[in-house]
Structure 1
């Protein structure tokens, strides 16, 4: 299973890290998983499914 950080997601969607967290709070992105204290990541499969549902737009 592969995971993406907020930094990698921000690069993927060409937005800031703050926007990634704002979208997460607004439930516009799949919910992340907390792997350890201070380590939160998004599952790559969840992000790919989200992108497919959005019509492939990033």
Structure 2
């Protein structure tokens, strides 16, 4: 298990930039009702108990990218 100091989380805007896709595309990949749904795409994790802030573990996103080569 990685040390907490090594764990990186990105929010939606940065994830969109990293993958060079729109926010709409990310939402499509996450939405089971969308024809563009990708069940292998990493699920976001909640960053706060009260708000709607979510983020993705960079390690999970990189692993997903490796499967798309």
The TM-score bracket by the shorter chain reads 0.7 to 0.9
- The runs of 5 or more residues in structure 1 that have no matched partner are none
Q: Which runs of 4+ in 1 moved over 3 A?
A: none
Greater share of residues in strand: 1
- TM-score normalized with structure 2 length: 0.69
- The runs of 5 or more residues in structure 2 that have no matched partner are 1-6, 32-36
3-state DSSP class of the match of 1:41? Answer: strand
Please tell me the root mean square deviation across aligned C-alpha atoms, in Å. Answer: 1.3
Q: Which has the larger radius of gyration?
A: 2
Other-structure match for 2:47: 35
Greater share of residues in helix: 1
Other-structure match for 1:6: 12
Larger relative contact order (C-alpha < 8 A, sep ≥ 6)? 1
Q: How many aligned positions are there? A: 55
